[in-house]
Amino acid sequence: MAGLMTDYNFYAGYLRFAANKTERETPEITEMMAELERIAEILESGNSFIVKDRKLRLTARALAGVAGFLQQHILPEVIAAENEIGEAQTRWVIDTSMEVMANLMAHAETTKDGENFTVNLPPAL
């Protein structure tokens, strides 16, 4: 199993965790969580993924939701537990998710939702 791990497995884990904690109250939320799970699967074997043109804004909202959830609910617990590695990973996931969200939204605006976007993640921790 260790041979299958990538430096981004922790990010994939956070995305899956957020997707699993989210109630599928609307078709849009269901689609957003499916996109998070799709990205998580890709990140288990690499550091980049493509977001389809029609999913740019949806994926951006999903990643912003992950960041917000972690910032509100997980980061305070990790800090309180004095878990330095967990805190560093959580902050990386929050920052990276927000950066990708901003890039997706900017791309959606400049291309009028007409082009796919390749996300290349920054170096993992």
Exposure of 78 in the CB half-sphere (CA atoms within 13 A):
15
Strand segments, DSSP code E, in 19-77 are 48-51
Report d(CA 125, CA 47) in Å as an integer: 12
Exposure string for 89-113, b = 16+ CB within 10 A, e = fewer: bbbbbbebbbebbebbbebbeeeee
Per-residue pLDDT of 25-43, as tens digits, reads 999 999 999 999 999 999 9
Q: Which amino acid is at 7?
A: D
Q: Is the pLDDT score of 4 beyond 60?
A: no
**pLDDT number for residue 7:** 87
What global pTM score does this model have?
0.92
Q: Is the pLDDT score of 3 beyond 50?
A: no
Kindly state the average pLDDT of the residues 110-121. Answer: 97
- Residue 37 and residue 77 in contact, taking contact as beta carbons nearer than 8 Å: no
